[in-house]
Structure formats: C-alpha cells, structure tokens
Amino acid sequence: MSASHFLQSTLDGAVTVDIEVQPGAKRQGLLGVNEWRGCVSVAVRAQAQKGKANNAVLHVLSTALDVPKNQLKIISGLTSRMKRIRIDSMQVAECAERFRVSLGEEE
C-alpha cells in the first residue's frame, strides 16, 4: 500500500499519520499497514485508561521512526482506537521510508 493512504503533509511542513491502536496486546510495536482502513496498526501493552495507551503509542512511534517523543502529538482520537498523530520536522517521503524500514518491507 502506498504511504499516501496513511501519511499526509501539513501546510506548515509536518506530517500526520493515521493509526489504529490495539491496547492491552501481548507484544508492543508496529504490526503493519491495515489496507482496508488506510492506517498503520500499532499494538501496545498498556490498557486504554488514564492516557496510558496514548503514551505507549507515542513511545512506540518515537522508537520505530527514530524521532524524539516531544515531536509527536496526538491531534485527534484521544479516546478512540483510531488516532491521527502529528510528526514535526519530518517530510512525508522520509517518514514513509522509516515506516517501511520499521515494518521490514521490501522496496
């Protein structure tokens, strides 16, 4: 699937990514791209209560994309499994490449 389905560029030069969260999972990390929903699936061990899962999502994305956690922000879906995350100081092409590498996809 093309990264354009889940990554968008903002007018101020940031990137937004659509994700689907699976809280309370046995393992934590990027699971892959959900082609039907057009988003990246992220599993976290934390339960969806008191912002623990949201914090874990930001940690997983920070690690997978190799960006500081303070450059990530949940801009929609704070109480939903479907979220939109803003990534500052990164272009869409670079972000797509980092997702591809993190997910172990071939070119």
CA–CA gap between residue 18 and residue 24 (Å, rounded):
20
Confidence check: pLDDT of 5 > 90: no
CATH number at residue 47: 3.30.1200.10
Residues pairing with 34 in the sheet: 39
**Is 107 contained in some domain?**
no
- Estimate to the nearest angstrom the gap between the alpha carbon of 15 and the chain centroid: 11
User: pLDDT exceeding 90 applies to what percent of the chain?
Assistant: 77
Indicate the number of domains in the chain.
Answer: 1
Confidence check: pLDDT of 44 > 90: yes
User: What's the pLDDT score for residue 35?
Assistant: 87
Give the structural domain span for 30.
Answer: 3-102
Percentages of the chain per state (helix, strand, coil), in multiples of 5: 30, 30, 40
User: What's the pLDDT score for residue 11?
Assistant: 92
User: What's the pLDDT score for residue 103?
Assistant: 86
Write the CB contacts of 97 (distance below 8 Å, at least 6 apart in sequence): none
Residues pairing with 86 in the sheet: 16, 73
Confidence band, pLDDT 50/70/90 cuts, at residue 1? low
**Is 10 contained in some domain?**
yes
Greater pLDDT, 105 or 95: 95
**Is 39 contained in some domain?**
yes
Q: Which two tokens stand for residue 103?
A: 């997910």
Q: Which two tokens stand for residue 61?
A: 């994305």
